[in-house]
Amino acid sequence: MIAPRPIVEWHIGGGKVLTLDRTYIMGILNVTPDSFSDGGKYAHVDAAVARTYEMAAQGADIIDIGGQSTRPGHTPISPDEEWQRIQPVLSELTGSRDFHAVLSVDTYFPEVAGKAAAMGVQILNDVSGFRNYSMRCVAAQFQTGCVVMHSSQLKEDADVCQALRRFYLVMSNVCVADGIPARNLCFDPGVGFGKSYEQNLQIAASFEQQCMEGYPMLAAASRKRVIGMSCGNPPAEQRVSGTVAYHTACLLGGAHILRVHDVPEAVQAAQVADAIVRSHSLAKIIKNRE
C-alpha cells in the first residue's frame, strides 16, 4: 500500500526551512576509526572534506557528520575526543563559500552539540532521542533541527508501531516544554537500536502506521544488520541494493528523509519512489472527482 505523504516543513538552525515536498537525502560522514561500515576511511580531515563535497555533488541535501561509532560493541569515547575529530572538518566546511549543503552532527553529547551549533551546524542528530535535558537546552538555545531517534530496548512481544508512536508523542511534548518548537522536530524509528530482526522489518512494513502527522520522518537503515541478515550477510559495503529496497518501502509508507552511505543510489531510488507517490496521489484525486 502506498501511503499519502503530506508536505511538511522542517525548521532548522539559521532560520532555514526545508520544505519536504520530495525525499531529502542525508549523506553519512563518519570521521571515526571504528564505524561498522566505513571506519577509518574518512578519519583524515582532507579525506573527510573531499567526501563531503562528493556527496553534495551526488545529490545529498544534508551531510550528517559523526565522530563516534554507535555500532554494537563499540567503545565509547569522551566528548573532547569526539569534538577533536569533528571540529577540523566543520571548520573547513563552515568557512567555505562553496559548500551549500545543510550540516548535521550526529552526537549525544550536549558539549559537542553546543560547539557544533555555535559554528553554524543546523541539525542535531541524537541517537539517545534528546532524553538528556542539557541536549534539549542546546537545541532550544540555537533553534536547531532535531532528529529524535528511538533507541530504547523493545520487548520481544511489543507492538512496534504503538511503542514508537508513544515515544514520539512523549518526546515531542518534552521537547516543546523545554523550548524546542514542534516545527524543529524530526522523528527516526531507530532501525537497529534496541530491536530484534523481525521488529526492524516491521518498521519498514508498517511505516505509515507509526508516522507522526505533521512531522518529518527519517529512515536510517543504510548497510545495517537487518539488511545483511535478509540477504545472506554480505560485507557492509555490498548491502547497497538491500538498503535501497528497505528504504523504498519506508518512502512508500511516508518517510521524508533517508540517511545513507551510498548517495547516488539513494537519490535515484528516491526520485522513482517520489514519482510513484505523486502518480498514486494524482490518481486518487481524479477518482474522487469522478
HEC assignment per residue over 91-114: HHHHCCCCCCCEEEEECCCHHHHH
Write out pLDDT tens, residues 189-230.
Answer: 999 999 999 999 999 999 999 999 999 999 999 999 999 999
Question: Which range, of 1-10, 77-86, 230-239, 269-278, averages the lowest pLDDT?
Answer: 1-10
CA distance 202 to 160: 7
70 in a structural domain = yes
205 in a structural domain = yes
Most confidently modeled range among 20-34, 167-181, 276-290: 167-181
42 near 238, Cβ under 8 Å? no
Q: Decide if pLDDT at 159 tops 70.
A: yes
244 in a structural domain = yes
Q: Decide if pLDDT at 255 tops 90.
A: yes
Q: Which residue has the higher pLDDT, 280 or 264?
A: 264
Grid cell 576511511 is found at: 41
Arithmetic mean of pLDDT over the chain: 92
209 in a structural domain = yes
Q: Decide if pLDDT at 87 tops 80.
A: yes
pLDDT score at 126: 98
pLDDT band for 95, please (50, 70, 90 cuts). Answer: confident
Q: Decide if pLDDT at 35 tops 70.
A: no
Query: What is the CB neighbour count within 10 angstroms for residue 130?
Result: 23
pLDDT score at 282: 56
Q: Decide if pLDDT at 290 tops 70.
A: no
Please give the residue range of the domain that contains residue 40.
8-289
2 in a structural domain = no
pLDDT score at 2: 87
Question: Which range, of 101-115, 176-190, 226-240, 274-288, averages the lowest pLDDT?
Answer: 274-288
For range 135-140, the mean pLDDT: 98
87 in a structural domain = yes
pTM of the shown model: 0.93
Backbone angles phi, psi at 150, to 5 degrees: -85, 125
For range 23-29, the mean pLDDT: 97
Quote the number of domains for the chain. Answer: 1
Among the listed residues 82, 89, 81, 85, the one whose alpha carbon sits nearest the alpha carbon of residue 119: 89
280 in a structural domain = yes
For range 35-41, the mean pLDDT: 54
Q: How do 17-20 and 8-11 pair as beta strands?
A: antiparallel
Q: Which residues are catalytic?
A: 224, 259
CATH number of the domain to which 70 belongs: 3.20.20.20
1 in a structural domain = no
